[in-house]
Structure 1
């Protein structure tokens, strides 16, 4: 007898897998982090193991008292002392890992009673952590990053979390549980349907200290059976599991944290009950391909982190660099090559992506953080020199970015200040700060290219002219650093003046770009005489007048027939003037209309 869907109806027409959803950006990967050796208690030996694992920081006398009071698994998981221990661990994890990213959390308790207890213990853990943050001496907060690294791990965490103290103070916690007519009165608010609707609505808003239609400080929901399936809150990034959830419900539950939202790169499942075994059993009911990559063990990421660090560092070590700290200038020089630069930023982003997963874990060696900072500093110096937007680390997690920015600042570079442009009053100071003519020339070369790129769309012919001139200077004086610096200084001065010297009587922002484009197109393969130049200028100016009149019409750029009509009119104008080589009129007309779109604001300005 046929029992499976495919046996009855035939094979799949199409399949949309969990990994497909990740690739489409609809979901993010889920990282699993186990907090116990094994949360399943099936016999006395397992019970002893659970005690030893959960209370490893307690004395033998305390363990004996706890064992005598709580004898069954259910009793253990409801024990206030155990919940208090876990609540403090959850709050530390949340503050160090999730809070800096601006997301929220859900706690799944073993019973309704445990959920109520959890709220009280989490609030106490919040207040204790806030008090410790407030008590940090100012001198500790002002330590350099090297000095902070010498502190114990707990103090390092406090220094890291301190900037988020206002959010931590405002953090609210609610319980959502089902009700029973025998419940104590103190539970009624948490089981009230109207209250629950309000808690859920508030929880789904973005995290902030102020309550508004879009933001709310309600940060943690504690549940037992409710909101584990069919609950969609993209702002939730972490689920703290302290209850066994079986079969298909388990996969549904952990999927609460994989909804994409803003800069969310992953979700977390932090396991206090040993749910990994249950998950593996639950997933046996699914096709292996369907659920491939559902849960990634955070411990398995450490080898990947070390490999990605080594690959990023190898961009330089494979090219003769032996000391990232002492050879920053040489590293930056290596990145002048665009292919190497692309290789570096891709490897650096992958390294930082994995570091963001593991930066809170004690297993991460100190030299990984050292290399992350050094590579970040090299990246920033290169970004300032080469003016390459690909080096801006856009999208890197806030926790990692803060780590890098702190090191960059400590070495005298403000990570928030963009590269200095040639029109900036500080540009001369940047040049004077360079220690050699070669370094000054490099600064001017890349600043000039950056400036040219800035007006390429608005005045393409002039941009090509100045780019060619820059390349000629670089080639002619490549072996004489002093002469190269002098010539680039003259070139920079010319660029600062703008495109006004060759056509002093024309508007450089409105008319000159069109005149130059007509000149460039009409002089291909020939030299224009004075009469032809005059005709070309007059034709270009007439075209500017016609273009200005047409593009002022409402909805011009969204109206294809109107644009096509303008192109045809320009073709006739160019043909009548005789300035354009035969057969080139339409191509030039299309380029002129495209130029008009880039200069729309200048052309329509009265």
Structure 2
């Protein structure tokens, strides 16, 4: 940039911080036409560093160097031969090589001439690797025409292999982070312009990318859209105070770039992230690469530390102290956090032999968790029956078990545990007293009922327990929840997620005076709120008929009243923005009744739309009548009238679990195929099929 701010205020401090962390720095901008460390600008792997590092980190007999030029050339070929496929497919293959290594021919007089496995990176001993930060790293675009090239501001190499691309932008331009992201996407040919504009070879082995302007820095992968780049706001395991002291700054003066460099690019942290916190998955039919968020990395690190250092039940004498609660708000990626934790455990010398038991109470969560956990490369046991669960849990040694627990009802027997598919809940009894068992409980705030707790603790009395929840735990349930799992391991609140841009802000608006009933006076108030139009005699009859909280909340009259309120609120407030809506009901019966009541409320709204007097419509259209002067309900109707066709077609679909005692008319709402289609349809934009609304 002409003002020099890009280098002096962004790139230079970044390189200085990296150097202080142990990175060697090459200032490529000072080299002129020299390619430095390469024979040509088209090369992206620094071959001499690569060969030297691999000889060092893969010792042979008597810890000496044994890899010759031929074997090293074969290893280099594995990272420079793309084969067939898109960039994401090539990157996935290369990443697998980086994580797992490759096999090469052995020596005749060593290990009986067997094939030997070599690593590209020494993850166990970070200090054994070569770390290089190369500024202004020019790469010629394909085709051999040196007039077309890209120059990322900083490329980070480990053992000569490019893993990170960083784009630095001047803080004096408009929206510098977004400009940096656009540049990175151009370098990686990810803008879908129909023609190449960068060099994908630089991204074959890339693990994540960074766009920074100093004050703020955001991280993503080459598949990330601009909205998916997020800041890294914690230098864990270094404290923010220690980071500030090391940089001779106050805590408030730390920049986003300094925080990201300390948290992600400290050599040990970087290798940890590459090995355990980068995953490939499919979203909306597209294969993408994801790097962890800072709260996921921090939570896993703290959980590993507690699992390693916490006291077992036998040592403590009262309870197992190796677990705890991870409270990360909805939308923060809890299933991926669980996956990252499992991967990290499998690399830990103490924890790698643990049996991991994952407990969830919803089918979709089980599928999601199982799919993401497959990334750990481990065989997964998905258990649906108590008989199989007994067998799997009783087996000693490592394993990864998923058990989907039915939603609980207090049957008076705290030893009952219902598994999906079981007609009756069965007691498991003591199955395994090993200490090398870790139970991961999803949605711990509701899965920690006495039934689950008693049964699992009886079956696995010496296991460590970690609970995950995305819902704030109210004081009434906090003591019980922490008494089961232990103290909090990590917290990431909805306000933090909103500030990070990880979730959109959520606004709450109360629609009635009471949403739950805790006593007789509340029950009276609820009736007064919801049945205000009834006579006192009719209200008393209703109280007699619906004497319990469950019956009140399932009462057809109450549901009908709420459905009318919901319909008007949705069509006046949510619908105009083009949004759909979800409704959580107190029970399956209530869900089905809400469906019928919402249909009636929609039909009533449509009837009122169709019944608007023509003179009102004409007056609003020719501006002889001010719409704001009309009653509020008429204003809503007038504004909704252009969308009559879409409103008439609105559907309300219950998604509920099934039971053999169900009313036969509920069958379609429990059908799994229909439910999956309903969920996929719900994700699509609001509108009539084949018609834009």
Mark the structure with the bigger radius of gyration.
Answer: 1
TM-score by length of 2: 0.28
Q: TM-score, normalised to structure 1's length?
A: 0.32
Which structure carries more relative contact order (alpha carbon 8 Å, separation 6+)? 1
The structure whose residues are more often strand, as a share, is: 2
Task: Flag the structure with higher helix content.
Answer: 1
